[in-house]
Amino acid sequence: MNPLAMLILLVSSLALFTSTMIRRIDVLRAAQPDPRLDQVGRRLRSLLEIGFGQRKLLYERGPGWMHAAIFAGFLVVAFRTLTMIVRGFAEGWRIPGLNEAYLLVHNLGELLVLGAVGYGIFRRLVSRPERLRFSGEAVLILAWIGLLMITDLAGDAAKFQLPGPQPERGWAWAATLLSGLFAGVPESTLRIWHQVNYWLHVTLVLAFLNYLPYGKHFHVLTALPAVFLERLTPSGKVDKLDLEQLMAAGAESFGVGRVEDFSWRRILDMYTCTECGRCNTGCPTHVTGKPLHPRELITEERDHVYAIGDQLAAMGRLKGRGSLAEYKALAAAIPRPILPGGIIEEDVLWACTTCGYCMAHCPVQIDHVPNIIDQRRYLAMTEAKLPTSLQNAMRGMETNSNPWNISAQAREDWCAGLPVPKLREKTSAEWLLFVGCAGSFDARNQTVQKALVRCLNAAGVDFAILGLEEGCCGDATRRAGNEYLFQTQAQANIRQLQKYGVKKVVTACPHGYNVIKNEYPDFGLAGVEVWHHSQLLRELLGAGRLRVRAEAAHDVTFHDSCYLGRHNGEYEAPREVLAAVPGLTRVEMPRSRREGFCCGAGGARMFMEEDLGTRINQNRIAEAASTSASEVCSSCPFCLTMLEDAVKETDRQETLRVRDIAEVIADNLVEG
């Protein structure tokens, strides 16, 4: 070995790598602060499960196991590479016992990696699934990884034919088997083979390390940190924008207009995207031909970051030194378009239904939805740009606290003549039934509220409503980017909840459920349990407080609401409610639970025109019809509306009906 050569190679490679990484980190420093070191135990658990355990990837058997094999094998081989570098300075260095045991696993890891690399190249060049776009870099990286394994095995195989003691022979069983290929080769040639493969392996590793930050495989370095530094709040929660602080500081814009307005974690998302396309596979906008494709959203932002990377890095250094005036001056001087509407088209941002499929399937925990909402905030609050079809709903929420723009005085009309107590009259109740705008103003969803009230009364539940004192929960307002209006709505509702000392809330709307449960606490709501009506109905049925008779036997299929299921993890409650009714046989759609396909109404899309691509709700109803079920059940007012519209639009009224689970129970109640 040549210690001087190893020293020169190692120092020069690491110096170049360090210089590159400092620039990449300086770009992160240019962005906004985002504390991510809380709940270390939970973060470590996530790192083990998602990072090292590859949990999300293993949902896909073939490609997932391929990637897991490469990852695991690479981890095993990484230790071997370190020992090879050490041997460049001390040739005979080894750890007796541990070294031999490690070699058994090490050779297995290399063979797994070679097999996975072969499968990966086959997928890239031959089978080419739809979600993968051709990438010469991907093939290069796979070949590079394969060559790393081959050089290690070939170097050992040649060495094992050399005369003298070979303590690793036998333990490195794969290399020992391959050493037969070098039988009879002259000793001088064997030494050359060993040296060439040794130095080639070390050089390839160090070159690989320096190449990674310049391509899409940067995630090899950033994926584990990104998983550890993931967002720990519920996926359906939108982070609070501190408007008072921003206005006090003289802010002239709100939301994200330039990349440095993002938190540093969003830039890390861009570094870390693997371009695997898993986010696109079940994204309702991608599937139905809309302009939003989650992968491309992130990669286009990343390409923009790289294009102005030197200036961003300079901004990061200025910010690190506390030179904020110079930082702002440099930011203003960079020639570039505004991010939303310039780099990312407005149609892309407004297409999102915020269903969360992308985030649930991203193996490196990228937050696509908050990224989009941050840019919508800029469009809505800084540039006052909203889609024309959304403007009436926004006016309605501003003037009458509902997107239908119906007089706020009509909020109680749905329950006229029904035994529905109001908190202003009753003063207290065990449960507050938060009706929501759909249940109050939409004729079809008023029938769901009536069915739910019938169930609550039959079970003897002590409940009341706010009625005229209730306002819009603010879900659509916030996801449309109008943070100011949302905060006004949230604070008004919270005052009412606190006024009556409410401790338990139940609602039939997953959007209201998510907002009240996960977002209102940021504005002072505390000590309040929030339930979805499926959860309460399940409990009442299980306790025998609700009794149901059998329906005529037929098949039903259940449609998962994104904000109940994917965002809040509740898949079973509505299914158990349906299972309580004899005669109903539940059949699952191919896309259900975690794979559930959006109805198209989330993210304020309920109040926007869908004039690009094909209709999301029609895609979903076609899938429901393919099960041969005669009924689709839902547990969300938006989903109910979208599915019923799709039934009518596709002329399936004679073969398919849509009901909320509360209606199913109410229709079969055994009362008295």
CA distance 97 to 428: 72
Cα(209)–Cα(218) distance, integer angstroms: 9
Q: How far apart are CA 479 and CA 603, in angstroms?
A: 5
Residue 517 or 202, more confident? 517
Residue 258: domain span: 243-383
Q: Is 178 domain-assigned?
A: yes
For residues 542 and 614, what is the distance between their CA atoms, to the nearest angstrom? 42
Residues 376 and 394 both lie in one domain: no
Q: Are residues 284 and 398 in the same domain?
A: no
User: Which CATH number do you get for residue 423?
Assistant: 3.40.50.1860
Which tens digits make up the pLDDT trace of 155-186?
888 888 888 777 777 778 788 888 888 888 88
Is residue 238 assigned to a domain? no
Q: Which long-range contacts (CB under 8 A, 24 or more apart) does 196-201 make?
A: 196/155, 197/151, 197/152, 197/154, 197/155, 197/158, 198/84, 198/151, 198/155, 200/151, 201/81, 201/84, 201/148, 201/151, 201/152, 201/155
Check whether residue 202 and residue 281 sit in a common domain: no
Residue at which a domain ends, from 367, 383, 399: 383
Q: What is the pLDDT, as a whole number, of residue 60?
A: 76
185 and 53, same domain (yes or no): yes
**Is 23 inside any structural domain?**
no
Nearest of 373, 52, 72 to residue 227 by alpha carbon: 52
* Coil vs helix vs strand at 505: strand
CATH of the domain at 566: 3.40.50
How much is the pTM?
0.91
Residue 139 and residue 216 in one domain: yes
Confidence at residue 86, expressed as pLDDT on a 0 to 100 scale = 77
Q: What is the mean pLDDT of the chain?
A: 91
Among 8-17, 62-71, 77-86, 345-354, the range with the most confident prediction by mean pLDDT is: 345-354
Q: How far apart are CA 668 and CA 549, in angstroms?
A: 5
Residue 232 lies in a domain: no
Domain annotation covers residue 30: no
Measured CA to CA, the distance from residue 218 to residue 207 in angstroms comes to 13
pLDDT at 128: 78
Phi, psi angles (nearest 5°) of residue 217 = -90, 15
Question: Are 607 and 578 within 8 A, CB to CB?
Answer: no
pLDDT tens digit sequence for 208-235: 899 989 888 898 899 999 999 999 999 9
User: Total structural domains in the chain?
Assistant: 4
Position 543 scores a pLDDT of 96
Verify that 515 and 658 share a domain, yes or no: no
CA angle, residues 619, 557, 569, in degrees to nearest 5? 85
Cβ atoms 510, 486 nearer than 8 A: no
**Domain's final residue, options 365, 383, 401:** 383
**Which of 225, 258, 288 is at the close of a domain?**
225
536 and 439 assigned to the same domain: yes
Region 326-333: mean pLDDT is 93
Q: Are residues 512 and 489 in the same domain?
A: yes
Quote the pLDDT of residue 1: 60
Residue 643 lies in a domain: yes
Q: Do 644 and 532 sit in the same domain of this protein?
A: no
CA distance 77 to 71: 10
Percent of the chain with pLDDT over 70: 98
Residues 533 and 555 both lie in one domain: no
On the question of pLDDT at 41 being above 90, the answer is: yes
- Summarised one tens digit per residue, pLDDT across range 371-405 is 999 999 999 999 999 999 899 999 999 999 999 99
Res. 92: pLDDT tops 70:
no
Q: What pLDDT is stored for residue 3 in this prediction?
A: 81
* 22 within some domain: no
pLDDT above 90 as % of the chain: 71
Tell whether the model's pLDDT for residue 97 goes beyond 80. Answer: no
pLDDT at residue 96 tops 70? no
> Does the pLDDT of residue 529 top 80, yes or no?
yes
* 605 lies in some domain: yes
Structure tokens at 517: 């449960």
What the block records as the tokens of 314 is 């300079």
> Residue 238 pLDDT > 70, yes or no?
yes
Instruction: Please give the average per-residue pLDDT across 488-493, as a whole number.
Output: 96
Same domain, 496 and 459: yes
Tell whether 496 and 350 lie within a shared domain.
no
The pLDDT assigned to 472 comes to 96
CATH of the domain at 366: 1.10.1060
Decide if 485 contacts 464 (C-beta within 8 A): no
Provide the pLDDT for residue 231: 94
